[in-house]
Chain A
Amino acid sequence: NAGVTQTPKFRVLKTGQSMTLLCAQDMNHEYMYWYRQDPGMGLRLIHYSVGEGTTAKGEVPDGYNVSRLKKQNFLLGLESAAPSQTSVYFCASRPPTGGSYEQYFGPGTRLTVT
């Protein structure tokens, strides 16, 4: 099993450009999450999904959109990138409640917006 994979690993964008980050998991997990990690701030939840076709806002959703068209994939979109979105983005997944609460993280995407 590959676990949780993220594409791309690195990206540099200019202000105003758009992009999509892809997260894929092969563990058949229901729940998937997108976090951003900034120095001294810890991991902050952007959006999450409790199943295929459903998404919900987390702590810092502004400027981001997500889609969960297939159970194994969770996409994070930036429609008009801003320098404040420079960060490391992590995707995570876990089984539904009743199973393990452990979250499995991907390796991260380092995004720089100039």
Chain B
Amino acid sequence: SQKIEQNSEALNIQEGKTATLTCNYTNYSPAYLQWYRQDPGRGPVFLLLIRENEKEKRKERLKVTFDTTLKQSLFHITASQPADSATYLCALEGGKLIFGQGTELSVKP
């Protein structure tokens, strides 16, 4: 069956470091992959989209990679700040958008 996995354990890092979040999937051939940010008590907010024929996408301090051979996407936040603390969701387009369970990121000053 189709499955998306994100690190269920929270990621704790120091301010200024690079945060790397992982999204793995099985039994999918997604046309594209998206990353969303969700703050407590709020709806998800779109961050980035990367297509299957793109290896890497950047937006300011954010970078996403998409390896269709490994069936994995990595989401990087460089020079992280406490304001980056949130839950980050990956989502795959496989007919409809399918979401992972999210990884909570905590950036300590």
Residues of A at under 8 Å CB distance from B?
A: 4, 33, 35, 40-45, 48, 58-59, 90, 92, 101-108
Contacts and interface: CB of A to CB of B under 8 A. Distances in A.
12 contacts: A33-B97, A40-B8, A40-B101, A41-B101, A42-B89, A43-B44, A44-B99, A48-B96, A102-B49, A105-B45, A107-B42, A107-B43
Given A42-B89, A43-B44, 13 more contacts: A40-B8, A42-B4, A42-B102, A43-B89, A44-B99, A45-B96, A90-B43, A90-B44, A101-B32, A101-B49, A102-B34, A103-B97, A104-B46
Contacts of A41: 101
Interface of B: 4, 8, 32, 34, 41-46, 49, 89, 91, 93, 96-102
Contacts, number: 48
